[in-house]
Amino acid sequence: MKTLHHLHRPLGSTGLNVSPLGLGTVKLGRDQGVKYPEGFRIPDDREAADLIALARDLGINLIDTAPAYGRSEERLGPLLHGQRHQWVIVSKTGEEFVGGQSQFDFSAAHTRRSVERSLQRLETDYIDLVLVHSDGNDLDILRGTEVYATLERLKDEGLIRGFGFSGKTADGGLLALERGDCAMVTYNLNEQAEKPVIDHAQAHGRGILIKKALASGHAALAPGVDPVRASFELVLGHPGVASAIVGTINPLHLAHNVDIAAEVLDR
């Protein structure tokens, strides 16, 4: 069984070293309003603990969560008890999921309250990276709200180690990297509009995390081409990418993803 232990890489200039695949945890806390092709059951605590243990054994050290992921953060706190030093934890601010609907607030007061609540839920005294969960109005958020200035203060206070932006546009990602440590961008076989953000980050020592690396819609690939392998060859083949977040709760899928990623990177 291949692992990623020997393939960790720097996340920009944050000082953090991360596995090339990270574990996304939306499915640990939320099963409403999610865009997956098939329904799923939220894992119970034993299943979630086993999944996290498997991820760690496979060399994954990055775990991605958010307040908008339902109960994900509050479940991860106990699940990661005694393991905090082994994980790079990424969370978000700006989006809440309430009553089946997303709500957005990028004010200074909400940003601080959100991060302090995440610290409590995750049962930790620092979060490695907090990203702004954009509603799509990337430039308006960065230019017209207090969210980035507040995250800078929280970093100065030692409550977070780094901050950045999970946006939806190339312009937003580029602007976010002027002050932020990291950007999370969509990049896959079907969507590559945000590639300029990755190129810019590589040239300027900023970190890049990839969301939706295994987007659906691989039907355009030639027969016999493995969509997971083709996706990882594209995404992990870009030297500006630190890690791609995979959100599976299926242990076999997770092990397969790690096996393919290790093969791609070890060539």
Rounded Cα–Cα distance for residues 11 and 205 (Å): 9
Quote the tokens at residue 174: 């580029």
Structural contact between residues 249 and 79, judged by C-beta atoms closer than 8 angstroms: no
Instruction: Give one word for 70, left, alpha or beta, with left for phi > 0 and alpha for psi -120 to 50.
Output: left
Among 191, 171, 180, residue whose Cα is nearest residue 234: 191
Q: Which residue has the tokens 């054994």?
A: 57
Q: What are phi and psi of 258, to 5 degrees?
A: -65, -45
* Contact in structure between 135 and 101 (CB atoms under 8 Å): no
* Tokens 């083949």 -> residue: 237
Give me the active site residues, please.
69
Q: What b/e sequence results for 191-215 when a residue is b if at least 16 CB atoms lie within 10 Å of its CB, and e otherwise? A: eeebbebbbbbeeeebbbbbbbbbb
Q: How many CB atoms are located within 10 Å of the residue 99 CB? A: 7
Length of the chain: 267
Measured CA to CA, the distance from residue 238 to residue 161 in angstroms comes to 25
Helix (H) or strand (E) holding 27, with range, is helix 26-29
